[in-house]
Amino acid sequence: MLLILLAIAIVVPGDETPPLPVLIGGIISAILLVVGAVGLWMCRRWGALLGVAGIVVNIPSSVPGLFLAPDMVRILIAISFVFCAISLALLARPAARQSYR
């Protein structure tokens, strides 16, 4: 979902493109989350750490969009915050932490 938002942000012409630091933060977050997802799929501890790091980078870089973005993008950002909270809660569960090698 984050990659789709970044693609939309890059393609949208005019003044509605996000500032460069927000784009860079989004790209870094997307890369961390994709690599972290591969690590989680293999039940590796580094996958969980990269997943948490990607979420931690994603949240601050998305906050300006809550105030400056068009309405549809605001809704998508709010939904992504909910998914971030759910992901952090699932990564912190004891059963999940015991499964990492």
According to the model, what pLDDT value does residue 89 have? 93
Terminal Cα-to-Cα distance of the chain (whole angstroms) = 28
According to the model, what pLDDT value does residue 32 have? 85
- What is the arithmetic mean of pLDDT over 42-57? 90
Between CA 55 and CA 47 the distance in angstroms is 12
According to the model, what pLDDT value does residue 10 have? 64
Buried b (16+ CB within 10 A) or exposed e, 2-39: beebbeebeeeeeeeebeeebeebbbebbebbebbeeb
Which residue's entry shows tokens 């990492």? 100
At CA 43, angle to CA 58 and CA 76, rounded to 5?
25
- Which one-letter amino acid corresponds to residue 30? A
Q: 75: burial class by Cβ within 10 Å (0-12, 13-18, 19+)?
A: exposed
Parse the chain into domains and list their residue ranges: 21-99
52-96 pLDDT, tens per residue? 988 888 888 788 888 887 788 888 888 889 999 999 999 999 998
27-37 pLDDT, tens per residue? 888 888 899 99
According to the model, what pLDDT value does residue 20 have? 79
Q: How confident is the model at residue 6 (pLDDT cuts 50, 70, 90)?
A: low
